[in-house]
């Protein structure tokens, strides 16, 4: 009797997870429909420390690169950023701070929260607009000069890791 209940609950749990995966995938597709889908432009941008970064070149390396679009003003980013920071110890991550103020303000914010990801400041949202970013946070996994995965809104550490691993 208990074994049958366990099987029933397991089946329902698997069905729930499958439904959640399908809904999440459709939501990702819908929210990301405006993202660029052509090859990543071969441009060089500078992080808040003045280091040159070429995203197209970064994506040509063996491991995938995560581009994390966020803002200091974004409440959901407060839940996603710690996971991104932890992953930055294991994966190549470049973040883009959208409309978050001057570089010193962004730098202080990162230091205050102990975030360790490389950050490009985009105070006028030029880079974000060029990528079609309309929601924060937006996470984009690039590999070989192309977008492999993207998601917007709250994403868990396993969700981010899964997308990086699949790329």
Q: Are residues 22 and 69 in the same domain?
A: no
Q: Are residues 1 and 82 in the same domain?
A: no
Residue pair 70/155 in contact by the 8 Å Cβ criterion? no
Give the position of tokens 């995203």.
Answer: 55
Residue pair 65/142 in contact by the 8 Å Cβ criterion? yes
Q: Are residues 49 and 24 in the same domain?
A: no
Q: Are residues 69 and 145 in the same domain?
A: yes
pLDDT in tens, 19-32: 766 766 666 666 55
In sequence order, what are the beta bridge partners of 84? none
Residue 97 CA to residue 33 CA, distance in Å, equals 21
Q: Are residues 128 and 75 in the same domain?
A: yes
- Please give the pLDDT value at position 37: 58
Residue 40 CA to residue 55 CA, distance in Å, equals 7
Q: Are residues 52 and 129 in the same domain?
A: yes
Higher pLDDT, 86 or 149: 86
DSSP the chain: -HHHHHHHHHHHHHHHHHHHHHHHHHHHHHHTTTS--SPPP--EEE-TT--EEEHHHHTTSSS-EEEEEE-TT-TTHHHHHHHHHHHTTTSEEEEEEES--SHHHHHHHHHHHT--SEEEEETT-HHHHHHT--SSSEEEEEETTEEEEEEES---HHHHHHHHHH-
66-80, 94-108, 109-123, 129-143: segment of lowest average pLDDT: 129-143
- Using a cut of 0.85, tell me whether the model's pTM lies above it: no
pLDDT in tens, 64-94: 999 999 999 999 999 999 999 999 999 999 9
| Number of independent structural domains in the chain | 2
| Domain assignment of residue 10, given as a range | 1-31
Q: Are residues 130 and 97 in the same domain?
A: yes
**CA 49, chain centre distance (Å):** 21
Higher pLDDT, 81 or 60: 81
Q: Are residues 14 and 96 in the same domain?
A: no
Q: Are residues 94 and 139 in the same domain?
A: yes
Q: Are residues 116 and 130 in the same domain?
A: yes
Collect all residues with Cβ–Cβ distance below 8 Å to 154 and sequence separation of at least 6. 76, 79, 80, 137
Tell me the CATH number at 40: 3.40.30.10
Q: Are residues 21 and 74 in the same domain?
A: no
Residue pair 45/128 in contact by the 8 Å Cβ criterion? no
pLDDT > 90 fraction of the chain, expressed in percent and rounded: 46
Q: Are residues 68 and 83 in the same domain?
A: yes
């Amino acid at each position: 009797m208990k074994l049958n209940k366990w099987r029933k609950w397991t089946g329902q749990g698997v069905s729930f997870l499958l439904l959640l995966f399908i809904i999440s995938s459709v939501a990702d597709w819908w929210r990301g429909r405006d993202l660029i889908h052509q090859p990543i432009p071969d441009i060089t941008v500078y992080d808040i420390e003045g280091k040159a970064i070429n995203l197209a070149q970064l994506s040509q390396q063996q491991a995938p690169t995560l581009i994390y679009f966020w803002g200091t003003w974004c409440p959901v980013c407060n839940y996603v950023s710690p996971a991104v920071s932890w992953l930055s110890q294991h994966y190549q991550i470049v973040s883009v701070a959208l409309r978050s103020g001057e570089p010193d303000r962004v730098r202080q914010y990162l230091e205050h929260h102990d975030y360790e990801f490389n950050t490009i400041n985009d105070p006028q949202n030029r880079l974000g607009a060029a990528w079609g970013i309309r929601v924060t946070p937006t996470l984009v996994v690039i590999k070989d000069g192309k977008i492999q995965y993207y998601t917007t809104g709250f994403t868990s550490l396993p969700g981010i890791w899964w997308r990086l691993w699949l790329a």
